[in-house]
Structure 1
Amino acid sequence: MDVHRPPRRPHAWWLFLAVSQSIVFAIWWRYGWRIGLPVLLLSHLPFVWGTLWPRSRLFAPVLARLPTDEPCVWLTIDDGPSDDTPALLDMLEAHGAKATFFLVGERAAARPQLVREIARRGHGIGNHSATHPSAWFWALGPRRMRAEIERCQAVLQELTDVTPRWFRAVVGMANPFVSAPLRDLSLARAAWSTRGFDAVDGDPAAIVARIERGLSPGAIVLLHEGARHGRNVETIGLLLQRLDALGYRTVLPEELDFTSMLVGAATERRPV
């Protein structure tokens, strides 16, 4: 099963908007504002949910879990590169673990050697916007949204000669204008299935306990680097120890696709 699914019809939401607002107009015209106004507000709730809920597929496909029954997880590390990156790379290597680093374009441009080292060590590199406008990413218009995604993609490609295949929305919130640039760049959107709020919480034990409650085969784990509390490296180290103890291995989605292809080919060749 190919889990990499860029948007195919990025403007389909316009049809839903046109139909829903036509119905609202008809109700307002027939029954007046006392009925029309509540209906208008209700008609916008799907768009609010689609924007603010990180796993919403209203505007585009979103991967929130790997389709596998094997005890494996996809580690994703947001907001780098940072001062934490070298230690994280060494720690992942010591545990034989792989992760995808969702990098911010301007931070990558400022630390190109770290970006190249991430790629050299065989980890994934994902697009996490050019400037990481955490307060307003969900509300960006089409031009600024496209610029955020395209500029980050260009920086990462130039630094690594690798084309990122995955995009993660800032704070996980993505409005309808995300889909068109993702389609044009063949980017698929990744969310998560478990997180520990390590961007704001500096207690490694509490963070790992939260993540563990959401662990299951195919879980996508949301992690961060470079947080102000300075304990991301310690937290990820503790998580790697816990994953080892629980018998979980780490996998990149590209590896999972490749493994599935090999299994399918072997099944086709097996004599009956």
Structure 2
Amino acid sequence: MRKWLVSCLLLCLFVSLALPASATEKAIRHDDKQFVYMTFDDGPRPETLLLLDVLKKHQVKATFFILGKQIKGNEDVLKRIIAEGHAIGLHSMTHDKKAFFKTPKSAVTEMKHVQQLIFQTTGVKTNVIRVPYGSVPHMTKPHRDAMAKAGFLMWDWNVDSLDWKRKDDPRLLQFDTIQKVRANRARQVASVVLMHDQSTSAASLDYILRHLKREQYVFTTITDTTPPYNFYNKWNTNTSRK
């Protein structure tokens, strides 16, 4: 009996090792502590091309949250994002805090507008959104309810690289981002990393990806089917966000 059990265990181990990645990845939860979602806000821009080059170099897929007013003139950049297998989300039309959050209807209207522009440009429709400046404190319950009714899936972040204000201090940007990802792993949660489509972020992105890959993190993207479907982060109210 014992020999039979050992033989079965060895056979199961052999089969699992022989299976291709596509056959085993379903067993991995998308909120696993080893997962890292690299996300970029405020594109598409010419600077986005630098980020795409770095991501291609490391064979990492990311999620780009698209700003509607940036699409005109950057259609080819948007198409390259999709052609290279990255995911896209919606990041409003204006990024104007007062205009966007004025009412639940104004917020939903902006997201629908950028959703339509992306579809017209690429043929791709996404319901994934990230509101300007994050969901705290401007996304009230009526705002969130309106977004949910419209079918939108809202994602914040839990690792802020602060690249928008650390342009002259890339070492701090790199070290702090990596440490935050490690801290999330220690807390048994995945990391949703926020960066921006700017040229000064490209070199830091290269460094961050190199080090996280050495530590065997798994990079993936946010889509309409990514659990937990909505991700609201609860920051300290004094935390700066952009």
1:197 equivalent in alignment to 2:197:
no
Shift of 1:193: 1.3
Counterpart for residue 232 of structure 2 = none
Deviations 1:80-122 (A, max 9, x none): 1112111211210110100000010110233111111101111
Counterpart for residue 218 of structure 2 = 249
Counterpart for residue 7 of structure 2 = none
Counterpart for residue 195 of structure 2 = 223
Shift of 1:237: 1.5
Segments of 4+ moved more than 4 angstroms: 254-258
Counterpart for residue 76 of structure 2 = 113
Q: Tell me the distance in 2 between the aligned counterparts of 1:199 and 1:93.
A: 23
Name whichever structure is richer in helix by fraction.
1
1:147 equivalent in alignment to 2:119:
no
Shift of 1:151: 0.9
The question of whether the paired residues in 1 share the 8 Å contact of 2:63 and 2:87 is answered with yes
5+ residue gaps, structure 2: 1-28, 228-242
Counterpart for residue 67 of structure 1 = 31
Counterpart for residue 23 of structure 2 = none
5+ residue gaps, structure 1: 1-64, 259-272
Q: Tell me the distance in 2 between the aligned counterparts of 1:181 and 1:152.
A: 17
Shift of 1:245: 2.3
1:125 equivalent in alignment to 2:91:
no
Shift of 1:192: 0.9
The question of whether the paired residues in 2 share the 8 Å contact of 1:204 and 1:238 is answered with no
Distance 1:254 1:128, change over 3 A: closer
Corresponding letter in the other structure for 1:113? D
Partner residue of 1:188 out of 153, 174, 180: 153
Corresponding letter in the other structure for 1:204? P
Counterpart for residue 207 of structure 1 = 173
Counterpart for residue 16 of structure 1 = none
TM-score of the pair, normalised by structure 1: 0.63
Q: Tell me the distance in 2 between the aligned counterparts of 1:225 and 1:107.
A: 11
1:168 equivalent in alignment to 2:104:
no
Aligned-residue CA RMSD (Å): 2.4
Distance 1:103 1:257, change over 3 A: closer
SS in 2 for 1:170: coil
SS in 2 for 1:198: coil
Q: Tell me the distance in 2 between the aligned counterparts of 1:255 and 1:175.
A: 20
Q: Tell me the distance in 2 between the aligned counterparts of 1:251 and 1:81.
A: 20
Q: Tell me the distance in 2 between the aligned counterparts of 1:204 and 1:110.
A: 29
Shift of 1:137: 5.7
State, as a whole percentage, how many aligned pairs show the same letter: 24
Distance 1:255 1:190, change over 3 A: closer
Distance 1:66 1:186, change over 3 A: same
Aligned length: 189
The question of whether the paired residues in 1 share the 8 Å contact of 2:104 and 2:146 is answered with no
TM-score of the pair, normalised by structure 2: 0.70
Q: Tell me the distance in 1 between the aligned counterparts of 2:132 and 2:226.
A: 26
SS in 1 for 2:157: coil
SS in 2 for 1:197: coil
